[in-house]
Amino acid sequence: MGPDDLTSEVTGEIEKDGAVLVVRRIHVKYTLKMPEDKRETARGVHEMHADRCPVARSIKGAIAVTTEVVFS
């Protein structure tokens, strides 16, 4: 894999909580260039990566994080 084989697009949803803007939801879409025979392994890694991600674990409970992986 090269540096251009993985890209991500992140969308955040912000809501007003009283007079303060608060991030409520984050969605990450990963686009991965990968051969067909490696995709099942990549899906498995994707399913468990949030549990091992320091950022996702730090904000868990405060901000809903969803992810998806798309192969190209």
Structural domain spans, the chain: 6-71
69: confidence class by pLDDT, cuts 50, 70, 90: very high
**C-alpha distance from residue 68 to each of 19, 22, 52 (Å):** 32, 23, 16
Rounded CA separation 52/58 (Å): 11
Q: Look at residue 2 in the predicted model and tell me its pLDDT.
A: 86
Q: Look at residue 63 in the predicted model and tell me its pLDDT.
A: 96
What is the maximum alpha-carbon separation in the chain?
51
C-beta separation of 8 from 28 below 8 A: yes
For the segment 1-11, the average pLDDT, to the nearest whole number, is 92
Q: Report whether pLDDT(34) > 90.
A: yes
Is 6-71 a domain of CATH 3.30.300.20?
yes
Rounded CA separation 5/1 (Å): 6
Rounded CA separation 21/19 (Å): 7
